[in-house]
Structure 1
Amino acid sequence: MLCTRRLGGLTARASALLPGRSRLGGFGAGLRARRVSTGWSPVGAAFNVKPQGLRLDLFGERRGLFGVPELSAPEGFRIAQENALRKTDLLVARACSTPPGPQTVLIFDELSDALCRVADLADFVKIAHPEPAFREAAEEACRSIGTVVEKLNTNVELYQSLQKLLADKKLVDSLDPETRRVAELFMFDFEISGIHLDKEKRFVKRAVDLNVKILDLSSTFLMGANFPNKIEKHLLPEHIRQNFILAGDHVIIDGLHAESPDDLVRHSPFKIFFKPSLSALLCSLSLLGFRQTPLAWVGSTTASHHSRQGTESKNTKTVMEFLEKLSDKLSERTLKDFEIIRGMKMKLNPQNSELMPWDPPYYSGVIRAERYNIEPSLYCPFFSLGACMEGLNILFNKLLGIALYAEQPAKGEVWCEDVRKLAVVHESEGLLGYIYCDFFQRADKPHQDCHFTIRGGRLKEDGDYQLPVVVLMLNLPHSSRNLPTLLTPGMMENLFHEMGHAMHSMLGRTRYQHVTGTRCPTDFAEVPSILMEYFANDYRVVNQFARHYQTGQSMPKNMVSRLCESKKVCAAADMQLQVFYAILDQIYHGKHPLRRSTTDILKETQEKFYGLPYVPNTAWQLRFSHLVGYGAKYYSYLMSRAVASMVWKECFLQDPFNRSTGERYRREMLAHGGGREPMLMVQG
């Protein structure tokens, strides 16, 4: 998953629950510092060491989070903010006094970079750091920078400095395509606030206040979406209580138990976890309502229409046609899948054979295991974490000439001792950037697999290239008894998916950080990560690394074949569920959706586009965190899957290790980030 958020025209564009960069320093230098370090070690071995066994450099100089000196303590966020704001003031003055030209865009990008370096980093820390003091300081930094950004997006003089450039046709024609695109993207984000309207029609202060309110509501909604529900212990049958967290007289439900063979253990948490709360309903209504409010000022009809700008799908009609056509194509196969799942439920549970929304994940898994003998315990020994990381290393080396090396973090550089730091090194270009791997479960850590941009790449004024820095977050179990961490096939595929995002960030070589790596249209951002899933399911790739952790035996080809075939079981029903989510997202952000209850809309849409009954007194939409990050753009997963499928078949199916094709893929797609129209990259 690629988390996204918008802080406005002058911060990072849709990237990942984006973190940033600054003169805060500490991330390594540019082109002149790309030599190989003797402190690097092979990647596979580093990940097969028990996490608790790793020791940080306790005697070295304390550098602060990500090597940023100020962030050795929570108070450092205040210092980082002050530094960023001082630089912002200088850059705003410079932008307003510089004659219009390419230099205008460079100044705007440097301004965006100064803010992102704090806001994006803080956006990660506020949800991932184990210490409350760091999380609270980061939360305050996000809010503070967000407020500044919204004020800048309504700064008329700043806006006019960019307008002068784009209004001069001769100047615009002289810009290279990437510079022109970045200028237009900055202008688009300015105009979201209605700054281009006549003076008497502008709502500058209201726009700032409203966007800050949206940021606050988004944060509140995300917290609520992940917050557990509880129920009095006596309301649950005694024989199933041990499946959940017990706290005094209450049972805590912090998620679904979709894989449990006990129908009641699946049924109960579904109803409890999705039980609506008035505060969450009000928050979601306010968030959706406030998102619609500014659009009348700027001429957009709906939030979904507005979000289309700058994407592959230019209007809501195109998206809905795509989703409805896909639903029609799937309908017959989806009904067949439901009949197969219902048949398995009748076989195993004849007393209660009605198919309910909590049933498909479990019974489709039973069907797969029965047909193809894909019990995870048979596969896990071949997928140690170290082996999987080495597999990625082999793939990237053959395809792109890139190697991954483990590097010892400095004291204070990481937020938890089991976080690994990877250097990404090209055989001729040297160091390309850093990936911090936060892979293991811990208390209060979000239960999502995510990619976060901590710093995007850009060409600096001194000619050096600012190296990208990202975090990959997974939720893998800790190893036990000195064994390596063993991954299920699903975990392995997720690892490949998230590493696709990371390499998109590493290999982007844009002039501007505003469009670096995954900072591209949302409906293209998932293409590289979904493409990696195809590599993860190809025997030629898996055979390079899948070894039994005890015997060293390669995974038999028929095991990989069975695993791939099993994924076709109930695939239509799985995709139909995604279509339902995407259509619901479009409706919520459509024209006048809130004249009716969001739960009524959910019920109607579920029955029309999914087929399984709505469960009374549940509100699944309140747990739909993508309403924040992917608001009106959840369809992106489906559209990206279609594009990734085409790229795989046309480019890599014949030979997944073809170096010339890999170089072409980097040159035509990954290198451009969001600096080029997505369809031009795909055509290339």
Structure 2
Amino acid sequence: MATTTSSSSAKGTVLNFNLSPKEIDDIVERLIADGKKLQDSVAAQTNPTFENVIVPLGTRENESSAEYLVTTFVQNVSTDEAVRDASMAAEEKLNAFEIESMMREDVYKVVRAVFDNPDEMSKLGPEDRRMVEKMEEGYRRNGLGLNKEDRERLGTINKQLSELSIRFNRSINENDGHEAFTREELVGLPDDYFEGRATKVVDGVTKYMVTTKYPDLVPALKLAKNENTRRRLIYAEETRCPGNIPLLQEAVQLRLEAAQLLKYKTHAEFVLELNMAKDPDSVMEFERDLRTRLNILADQELRELEALKKADKEAAGEPYDGLFIWDFRYYVNMIKERKHNISDEEVKRHFPMKEVTRGILDVYQEIFSLQFIRVENPPVWHPDVEMYEVWEAGEDKFVGHFYLDLYPREGKYNHAAVWPIRHGFTRADGSHEYPVAAMVANFPKPTPSAPALLKHSDAVTLLHELGHVLHSICSITKWGRFHGTNTESDFVEAPSQMLENWGWEPEVLRRFAVHYQTGEPIPEALIEKMVAAKNSCAGLLNLRQVFFGMFDMSIHNTTDGHTDVKENYLKLREQISRFKAGNADTWGCATFGHMMGGYDAGYYGYMYSLVFSADMFESRFKKEGVVNPRTGMDYRTAILFPGGSRDSMAGLEKFLGRKPNNKAFLRSIGLASD
């Protein structure tokens, strides 16, 4: 069970998040100056070897990572706008320097000399050899095989893309939409939704402010009976960042130009070369096959949803005009409530935030033979943030730290994600630098009448994101660039997706799902209904993910850099998700942060990695026990421990004892496997 300590961190690196804009600027200047000095020294080597070229470059990566990661992380969590601005500027400068660094022909020359030296390469162990290979590959994919003019153009493009990405995601974080509604317009929302909510009086009528932040938006889209209320909220969400459309459009053009400079046909071809899927044809085959299978489920689901909306329209004396995107969450939720006699409002009474967090941490401690110790009065960036030490269970062996920042606030990153803010690595003297990770989320806050209560989907999100934390904390690699979640991008979600299954296991739910008032465990009958409802509208819900993946490929697997991102998004969403957009002019892709956050030509990876996650869960944990420490340790050893220091397929096959397949995944969503 998680315990507390009265001191600050006992071991590992204590990171400083209380940075002023001036301190951030100073760190950036020092990192850049030190990096240039080191690169000059390495480039001057007349007899390039692993020890005098690769080791210094890799050591710089290792040792500068914490300052780099913290300095660029605070833009997502700081309450001080000046600090967020400085952090964003720091990321731009540091990314620009890294791009410049990867374009240094003199450094590439000595790296390539090591790579081409069979005597040097034959002496290296697997991770060191992979380090040389990935380092050489990185320089080559950044244009070091090009002529001077093309190389310089590629460097300019990469800098522009970095700047566009930062501006795009900052806009999403800081430009929330909002609408004001009367209580009548929000009929269907529970009483606690209104507690502490900002109001304004318009023409003598009190109206409640609803923002596009997730804790506001999602319950309203699921529960508000008034269709116009849902429509207004979707419009507010999908029109809140108009300036992002030209940024994404420009990024698509630049990515294609960069890929073609490097002799690839499309940006997707360039990206996928390094992934498990390997090429665009494999991705499109995966997406088309999945879409075909899911449509079998979706056909029946749509008939059920249409019947519900037609009945609502008939009761209101209005004509039925189809299913729209603002109907999606509402009627999917209604199906769950009516078919399975279950509601989010009933369920969330059994998921108080404090107990759920404690319970999930306890379960993870048991499965993975770890101990989490909460630090009192920790050095953090906000009073809401908790800090934990991680130790091997029953051993005096420190593992790392993690932070939990779980509630929304102004200017904060507005979804859920995990940042590695210090990679683990091996120092020159053989000692270990301990990893640090931070989970940032936006779960509902406590109200005057109740503690913070989670929807079941929130609890599943918590399980998922803590899976990323475990991946970051439990990995042990020599080089920081391979640490933790630095795997192939279409595998990185698999370990966390696998752990979502624990949110559906009765044995696990009984450990932490308790009524927030009585403390009574969640009733068995309610668990049975939740599990029965798991695949409710699975066809439509998964088609939504297929849409995102196919939109991504539509703008990145093309030789037309001017393909209209806005129109592509709207057209494909209606075709694939099968809900109409309506007549209003919207631009939903302006808030699709993944397209400017490292998932370009990679969003398919969410569904692709689900195949691996389902196989791992069903084949090992479901058979051997979902809280079986022996299985948990096998998983740590095969999947979490190596990070990206070897191909992920090797770890998968080691853990499964065979090659992975999609049978468990298809069964998990209610489809028969071939």
TM range, normalised to the smaller chain?
0.7 to 0.9
Alpha-carbon displacement from aligned partner over 1:33-52 (angstroms, at most 9, x marks no partner):
xxxxxxxxx63789xxxxxx
Helix, strand or coil for the counterpart of 1:75?
A: helix
CA distance in 2, matches of 1:314, 1:369: 42
CA distance in 2, matches of 1:374, 1:594: 47
Is 1:649 matched up with 2:649? Answer: no
Distance of aligned partners of 1:275 and 1:393 in 2 relative to their CA distance in 1, 3 Å threshold? closer
- TM-superposed deviation, 1:254: 3.4
Q: Which of 234, 240, 259 in structure 2 is aligned with 1:270?
A: 234
- TM-superposed deviation, 1:632: 0.8
CA distance in 1, matches of 2:357, 2:171: 34
Q: Which of 106, 126, 129 in structure 2 is aligned with 1:177?
A: 126
8 Å CA contact 1:92–1:111 kept in 2: the answer is: no
Q: Which of 647, 651, 662 in structure 2 is aligned with 1:681?
A: 651
Give the TM-score normalised by structure 2. Answer: 0.86
Counterpart of 1:367?
335
Q: Which of 380, 384, 390 in structure 2 is aligned with 1:414?
A: 380
Deviates more, 1:373-382 or 1:155-164: 373-382
Helix, strand or coil for the counterpart of 1:320?
A: helix
Counterpart of 1:33?
none
CA distance in 1, matches of 2:251, 2:123: 42
Equivalent residues in 2 for 1:5-24 (5 A)?
Answer: none
- TM-superposed deviation, 1:125: 0.6
CA distance in 2, matches of 1:69, 1:232: 38
Helix, strand or coil for the counterpart of 1:543?
A: helix
8 Å CA contact 1:102–1:175 kept in 2: the answer is: no
Distance of aligned partners of 1:113 and 1:409 in 2 relative to their CA distance in 1, 3 Å threshold? farther
- TM-superposed deviation, 1:666: 0.7
Q: Which of 483, 493, 496 in structure 2 is aligned with 1:516?
A: 483
Distance of aligned partners of 1:536 and 1:278 in 2 relative to their CA distance in 1, 3 Å threshold? closer
Equivalent position amino acid for 2:380 in 1: V
Helix, strand or coil for the counterpart of 1:87?
A: helix
- TM-superposed deviation, 1:103: 5.9
CA distance in 2, matches of 1:659, 1:406: 22
Equivalent residues in 2 for 1:238-637 (5 A)?
Answer: 240=185, 254=212, 256=217, 257-259=220-222, 260-275=224-239, 279-350=243-314, 351-353=318-320, 354-410=322-378, 413-427=379-393, 428=395, 430-481=397-448, 484-616=451-583, 617-629=585-597, 630-637=599-606
8 Å CA contact 2:386–2:403 kept in 1: the answer is: yes
8 Å CA contact 1:602–1:621 kept in 2: the answer is: yes
Is 1:119 matched up with 2:68? Answer: yes
8 Å CA contact 2:400–2:473 kept in 1: the answer is: yes
Equivalent position amino acid for 2:308 in 1: M
Helix, strand or coil for the counterpart of 1:119?
A: helix
Counterpart of 1:219?
166
- TM-superposed deviation, 1:451: 0.5
Distance of aligned partners of 1:230 and 1:628 in 2 relative to their CA distance in 1, 3 Å threshold? closer
8 Å CA contact 2:48–2:111 kept in 1: the answer is: no
CA distance in 1, matches of 2:528, 2:351: 16
8 Å CA contact 1:84–1:115 kept in 2: the answer is: yes
Counterpart of 1:12?
none
CA distance in 2, matches of 1:43, 1:484: 20
CA distance in 2, matches of 1:232, 1:681: 49
- TM-superposed deviation, 1:102: 5.6
Q: Which of 605, 609, 612 in structure 2 is aligned with 1:640?
A: 609
Counterpart of 1:670?
640
Distance of aligned partners of 1:231 and 1:641 in 2 relative to their CA distance in 1, 3 Å threshold? closer
CA distance in 2, matches of 1:187, 1:645: 35
Deviates more, 1:540-549 or 1:159-168: 540-549
What RMSD in Å do the two structures reach over aligned CA positions? 2.9
Equivalent position amino acid for 1:220 in 2: R
CA distance in 1, matches of 2:70, 2:78: 11
8 Å CA contact 1:71–1:77 kept in 2: the answer is: no
Equivalent position amino acid for 1:312 in 2: M
- TM-superposed deviation, 1:279: 3.6
Is 1:109 matched up with 2:58? Answer: yes
Equivalent position amino acid for 1:358 in 2: W
Higher relative contact order (CA 8 A, sep 6+): 1
- TM-superposed deviation, 1:495: 0.6
- TM-superposed deviation, 1:136: 1.6
Is 1:82 matched up with 2:29? Answer: yes
Structure 1, unmatched stretches of 5+, are 1-41, 47-55
- TM-superposed deviation, 1:276: 8.3
Helix, strand or coil for the counterpart of 1:522?
A: coil
Alpha-carbon displacement from aligned partner over 1:560-619 (angstroms, at most 9, x marks no partner):
221121121101100011101100101111223444422332243234322223434222
Alpha-carbon displacement from aligned partner over 1:629-662 (angstroms, at most 9, x marks no partner):
2111000100111110000011100211222211
Helix, strand or coil for the counterpart of 1:453?
A: strand
Helix, strand or coil for the counterpart of 1:192?
A: helix
8 Å CA contact 1:162–1:183 kept in 2: the answer is: yes
Alpha-carbon displacement from aligned partner over 1:81-115 (angstroms, at most 9, x marks no partner):
23323432343244333732266433222222344
- TM-superposed deviation, 1:232: 10
Structure 2, unmatched stretches of 5+, are 188-193, 655-674
CA distance in 2, matches of 1:393, 1:400: 10
CA distance in 2, matches of 1:468, 1:347: 55
Helix, strand or coil for the counterpart of 2:400?
A: strand
Deviates more, 1:242-251 or 1:342-351: 242-251
8 Å CA contact 1:420–1:438 kept in 2: the answer is: yes
Alpha-carbon displacement from aligned partner over 1:517-552 (angstroms, at most 9, x marks no partner):
011111111011111101121111122222334433
CA distance in 2, matches of 1:559, 1:304: 45
- TM-superposed deviation, 1:228: 4.2
Helix, strand or coil for the counterpart of 1:416?
A: coil
Counterpart of 1:131?
80
Is 1:158 matched up with 2:117? Answer: no
8 Å CA contact 1:440–1:477 kept in 2: the answer is: yes
Runs of 4 or more consecutive aligned structure 1 residues displaced over 6 Å after TM superposition: 229-233, 236-239, 241-252
Distance of aligned partners of 1:231 and 1:388 in 2 relative to their CA distance in 1, 3 Å threshold? closer
Deviates more, 1:536-545 or 1:591-600: 591-600
Percentage identity across paired residues of the two chains: 20
Give the TM-score normalised by structure 1. Answer: 0.85
CA distance in 1, matches of 2:304, 2:3: 41
- TM-superposed deviation, 1:367: 1.5
Equivalent position amino acid for 2:650 in 1: L
CA distance in 2, matches of 1:423, 1:458: 18
8 Å CA contact 1:407–1:421 kept in 2: the answer is: yes
Distance of aligned partners of 1:276 and 1:375 in 2 relative to their CA distance in 1, 3 Å threshold? closer
Alpha-carbon displacement from aligned partner over 1:110-159 (angstroms, at most 9, x marks no partner):
22234433332222211211111211221121111112111101111111
Distance of aligned partners of 1:546 and 1:167 in 2 relative to their CA distance in 1, 3 Å threshold? same
Alpha-carbon displacement from aligned partner over 1:253-280 (angstroms, at most 9, x marks no partner):
6365422221111112223432487643
Helix, strand or coil for the counterpart of 2:49?
A: coil
CA distance in 2, matches of 1:526, 1:484: 31
Distance of aligned partners of 1:561 and 1:104 in 2 relative to their CA distance in 1, 3 Å threshold? farther
Helix, strand or coil for the counterpart of 1:472?
A: strand
